[in-house]
Amino acid sequence: MPKDSIVEIPSGSGNKYRYEYSEGQTLYRGPVGSAPEIGEAEFMAAMKGTGAMSEVVFWALVDKLNWGKDLDYKRIERYLLREITKDEAEAMREQFKKQKSELYKALDPYVQLSDDSYDDLLSHIIGLGEDEYNSNMRNPRKASERADMMDFKESFSYAIPHTDDYRMTELNEWKPKIDEKQKSYKKARNEASVDIRDEYDTILHALDTLESGDVKGFLATKREAVGAATLITEREKEEARKRGEDTPFWAIVWTTDQINHFYGQIDHYLGP
């Protein structure tokens, strides 16, 4: 890294954390230069996933994630899957556990919640950033008041990707599921009435597009596929009612909710 170079990381709250490599071989973190120092080796190891993530780097990253914006752990996980490596995510998780353990010790005498809710509270406070974390460490009754009002959301901890999440960013991991759906819909098409086979073809075409590796093209078919699934479901329900039967299995294999979920998963893990 060149002498006196500066790397700025914009944060979700509008601050900029400044990492400055000086002649003294030290990186400093801002925004105003008053934060603790970390050495170059530690910083680079943390950012490259070859070592433990320091508190400085952890809090800079948490601030950038802006949990308080919408409390959406899926948005954050999606971002992290594209911005940090699997090893970096593991290092982040270890630092997260460390911070949560310290917060637990400080708040435990003051907070009365079930185990799950307490974990959500701790994670929520960490997600809100270093300032909020330190404020609760200094004044645990603040967390107690938040707990009494149930003013926290499940759960920032879900946002940090696991190893399996990174595995799902590879299209090959989805091939068995895609193949299974293709077989199911081909069978369903053959057993369906002629007037709704075009709708099955729409869904099958979407799956073929995904199988070919064209993720962008697949995501572009969502509206048509959802429409086709909705029509299939309604038609099969209507026919079943006429026959005095239960709705056939094929009518509920790919309901509107299920199709939206599948497209959401593909976008989450494989989308741009």
pLDDT of residue 16: 41
- 157-189 residue pLDDT tens: 999 999 999 999 999 999 999 999 899 889 888
pLDDT of residue 87: 86
pLDDT of residue 250: 52
Give 168's contacts (C-beta < 8 A, 6+ positions apart).
174, 269
pLDDT of residue 28: 37
pLDDT of residue 264: 95
pLDDT of residue 54: 77
Q: Mark the ranges of the chain whose per-residue pLDDT is less than 50.
A: 1-40, 43-44, 46, 49-50
Burial 36-52 (b: 16+ CB within 10 A, else e): eebeeebbebbbebeee
pTM: 0.75
